[in-house]
């Protein structure tokens, strides 16, 4: 329906230059699903499961800098500024450039990777076997899928999950939402606000009313745990 609506609007407004008179046509509402987010232990399990230096560096950089997979594979060596600790993302979504953070904790590993693969001072940071082209998105997605399986992580995980986890963990560590918006390249802060709904800072630390109830009245309930322990021993 959205496709038909937009096609008709283009026909009348752009081509015929006439007023669009059916703008009250009911349109389906978009689903508002929350993103899947890994906890920090799960992120570490994924990294530990990847033995290949190049692939592990790619996954770690995706999480460390909040990159889309399309941005990751198109990174160039000259885009990484290790002195200022920033990465220049060129022609990201919406053809917009932005800067994001480069972590000091990954600096030594990236240098080791750079030396191991004998990269120069310019060109693709993650080249394919044919060095005049970058690695494909499908390749690193397959690596991630194997790592998730090896790490026995039950959640549905994609490359974008690492980006979601980056934003959520920054929020949980106290980073201002406006900075996260800029790092992710979101045009509106409303897009970034979705991470407030999955952050344990705002949800996981809220105490259930049962906690307060049990704290006051636990002595009034039968001691089921002790009974179970006795029955087990018997």
Catalytically active residues, by annotation: 68, 93, 160, 163, 186, 195
Three-class DSSP category at 191: helix
DSSP for residue 35: P
Q: Is the four-CA dihedral 218, 223, 226, 228 of positive or negative sign?
A: negative
Report which of 41, 25, 46 is spatially closest to residue 145, judged by C-alpha positions: 46
Rounded Cα–Cα distance for residues 12 and 34 (Å) = 36
* Distance, CA of 48 to CA of 44 (rounded, Å): 6
C-alpha to C-alpha distance for 11 and 59, rounded to whole angstroms = 44
What Å distances lie between residue 148 and 36, 85, 141, 180, 217, CA to CA?
14, 29, 11, 26, 43
- Which segments of the chain are extended strands (E)? 80-81, 86-89, 98-101
Phi, psi (deg, nearest 5) at residue 147: -65, -40
């Amino acid at each position: 329906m959205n496709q038909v609506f937009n096609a008709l609007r283009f026909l009348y407004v752009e081509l015929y230059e006439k007023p669009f008179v059916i703008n009250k046509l009911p349109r389906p509402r978009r689903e508002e699903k929350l993103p899947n987010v890994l906890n920090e232990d799960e992120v570490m399990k994924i990294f530990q499961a990847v033995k290949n230096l190049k692939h592990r560096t790619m996954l770690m950089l995706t999480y460390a800098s909040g990159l889309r997979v399309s941005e990751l594979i198109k990174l160039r060596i000259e885009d990484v500024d290790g002195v200022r600790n920033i990465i220049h993302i060129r022609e990201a979504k919406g053809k917009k450039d932005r800067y994001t953070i480069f972590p000091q904790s990954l600096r030594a590993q990236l240098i080791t990777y750079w030396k191991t693969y004998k990269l120069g001072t310019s060109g693709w940071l993650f080249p394919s076997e044919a060095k005049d082209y970058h690695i494909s998105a499908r390749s690193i997605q397959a690596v991630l899928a194997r790592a998730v399986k090896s790490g026995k992580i039950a959640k549905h995980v994609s490359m974008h999950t690492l980006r979601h986890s980056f934003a959520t963990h920054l929020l949980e560590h106290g980073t201002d939402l406006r900075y996260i918006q800029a790092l992710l390249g979101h045009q509106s802060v409303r897009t970034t606000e979705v991470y407030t709904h999955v952050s344990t800072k705002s949800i996981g630390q809220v105490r259930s009313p049962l906690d307060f109830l049990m704290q006051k009245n636990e002595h009034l309930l039968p001691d089921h745990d002790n009974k179970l322990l006795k029955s087990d021993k018997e």
